[in-house]
């Protein structure tokens, strides 16, 4: 069987300690086979010169953070990052590495190095996000040209990108069923949620430009006796714009390990995303996580939620606050939860990060074997 390089350099726009999601799940599993270096975006400060720090998080995984002096322009930033990367590769060979990209922006300072394998895990349409750099689309084209294999974060994103690469594969969000399954059996909620009494509707995730503020406000206004629990950091939007109803509770960021305990206390879970360019291709990981925790879900009409979850009658979909309130009422009064849970478990039976990672590894090894065969034939 063809072996992939024994080291991985992952270029990510997401901090390792921000929200535990797709990169962390996959890199953690990769670290069981390879030495993984997770390179974050730079931190700027009153430093005399640029330097790189390493923080070991797992036996074979290090988080690497570039520290750069304040006041650098964009060209200078990329020059410093390229220099730090060259220093990192002193006494190392890039051919012994997989370059795993989550952000095309990293290609600006890494394109001079040729690794043993280049992977682009396109988990989101980053160009549609708020404050996205103008050059991101062109850099993505360059990364598509360099990549040996491309993964997408869902089916709709795959449909949008499939003609841009010859070796591209969709991988919708997976779950850690054992972890989130704890929500079905937890006996006690964390104190900040336990003290909130009544019917609880919950959401965890990043509260940003994709979050439907007006939808949440509408639900809270319509049913003041329902308690809405919102867990996660507020980024890229003004917190002052968030609704302040007494029945809306902002509990802040929580650790990944804590999420099942919070989920256990909810009556219904919410996926309240706007329908716009930034959500056109998203595949919310929380959908199968909520289901794995045994919680009914109401979502806006996100493509990758409609198909497959709503299509298989596992999730309810609403357009506005009135729809959500009606759907929640139905779920709260449903007598047949056991039958629904059985359907959920059958549907999610093969859905796991272990399976996703295994399938990705097989495709990567096939790519290596195919490329090496081509090179061998060409040299004869």
| Residues 19 and 146 both lie in one domain | yes
- pLDDT at position 380, please? 44
Name the pLDDT band for 120 (thresholds 50, 70, 90).
very high
Name the pLDDT band for 22 (thresholds 50, 70, 90).
very high
Tokens linked to 152: 């997408």
- Structure-derived torsion over alpha carbons of residues 168, 175, 256, 217, reported in degrees to the nearest 10: 90
Contact 278, 151 (CB under 8 A): no
| Residues 124 and 203 both lie in one domain | no
- pLDDT at position 378, please? 42
Express as a percent the part of the chain with pLDDT over 90: 88
pLDDT higher than threshold 80 for residue 94: yes
- Domain range spanning residue 223? 177-347
| Residues 242 and 288 both lie in one domain | yes
> What would the mean pLDDT of 11-39 be, rounded to a whole number?
96
CA–CA gap between residue 202 and residue 268 (Å, rounded): 7
Look at the chain and report how many structural domains it folds into: 2
Q: What is the CATH number of the domain that holds 30?
A: 3.40.50.2000
pLDDT higher than threshold 50 for residue 379: no
| Residues 277 and 333 both lie in one domain | yes
pLDDT in tens, 141-198: 999 999 999 999 999 999 999 999 999 999 987 999 999 999 999 888 999 999 999 9
Neighbours of 255 (CB within 10 A): 8
| Residues 31 and 163 both lie in one domain | yes
| Residues 148 and 162 both lie in one domain | yes
pLDDT higher than threshold 60 for residue 377: no
| DSSP strand pairing (61-69 vs 51-58) | antiparallel
Tokens linked to 314: 């596992």
pLDDT-wise least confident of 28-42, 84-98, 126-140, 256-270 = 126-140
- pLDDT at position 336, please? 82
Residues 6+ apart with CB under 8 A from 372: 2
| Residues 206 and 310 both lie in one domain | yes
| Residues 157 and 33 both lie in one domain | yes
The SS3 assignment for 301 reads coil
| Residues 48 and 166 both lie in one domain | yes
Q: At what angle do helices 213-222 and 321-332 cross, to 10 degrees?
A: 60
Q: How far is CA 69 from the centre of its chain?
A: 30
| Residues 236 and 141 both lie in one domain | no
| Residues 196 and 282 both lie in one domain | yes
Tell me which residue of 11, 239, 36 sits closest to 147, measured CA to CA: 11
- Inside any domain, residue 1: no
């Amino acid at each position: 069987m063809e072996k992939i390089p024994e080291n991985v350099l992952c270029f990510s726009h997401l901090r390792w300690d921000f929200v535990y999601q797709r990169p962390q799940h996959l890199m953690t599993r990769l670290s069981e086979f390879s030495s993984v270096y997770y390179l974050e975006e730079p931190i700027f400060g009153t430093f005399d010169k640029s330097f790189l720090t390493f923080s070991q998080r797992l036996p074979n995984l290090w988080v690497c953070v570039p520290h750069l002096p304040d006041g650098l322009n964009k060209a200078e930033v990329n020059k410093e990052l390229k220099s730090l990367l060259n220093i990192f590769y002193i006494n190392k060979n890039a051919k012994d590495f997989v370059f795993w990209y989550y952000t095309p922006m990293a290609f600006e300072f890494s394109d001079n190095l040729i690794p043993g394998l280049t992977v682009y895990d396109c988990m989101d349409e980053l160009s549609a996000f708020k404050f996205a750099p103008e050059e991101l689309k062109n850099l993505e084209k360059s990364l598509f040209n360099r990549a040996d294999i491309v993964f997408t974060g869902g089916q709709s994103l795959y449909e949008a990108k499939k003609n841009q690469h010859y070796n591209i594969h969709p991988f919708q969000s997976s779950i850690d069923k054992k972890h989130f399954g704890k929500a079905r059996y937890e006996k006690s909620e964390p104190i900040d949620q336990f003290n909130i009494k009544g019917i609880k509707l919950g959401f965890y995730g990043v509260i940003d430009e994709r979050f439907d503020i007006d939808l949440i406000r509408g639900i809270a206004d319509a049913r003041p006796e329902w308690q809405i629990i919102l867990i996660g950091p507020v980024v890229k939007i003004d917190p002052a714009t968030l609704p302040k109803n007494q029945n809306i509770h902002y509990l802040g960021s929580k650790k990944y390990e804590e999420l099942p305990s919070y989920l256990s206390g909810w009556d219904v879970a919410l996926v309240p995303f706007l329908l716009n360019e930034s959500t056109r291709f998203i595949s919310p990981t929380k959908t199968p996580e909520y289901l794995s925790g045994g919680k009914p879900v109401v979502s806006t009409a996100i493509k990758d939620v409609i198909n497959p979850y709503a299509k298989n009658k596992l999730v309810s979909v609403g357009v506005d606050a009135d729809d959500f309130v009606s759907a929640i009422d139905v779920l709260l009064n449903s007598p047949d939860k056991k039958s629904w849970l059985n359907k959920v478990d059958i549907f999610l039976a093969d859905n796991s990060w272990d399976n996703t990672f295994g399938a990705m590894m097989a495709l990567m090894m096939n790519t290596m074997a195919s490329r090496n065969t081509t090179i061998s034939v060409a040299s004869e």
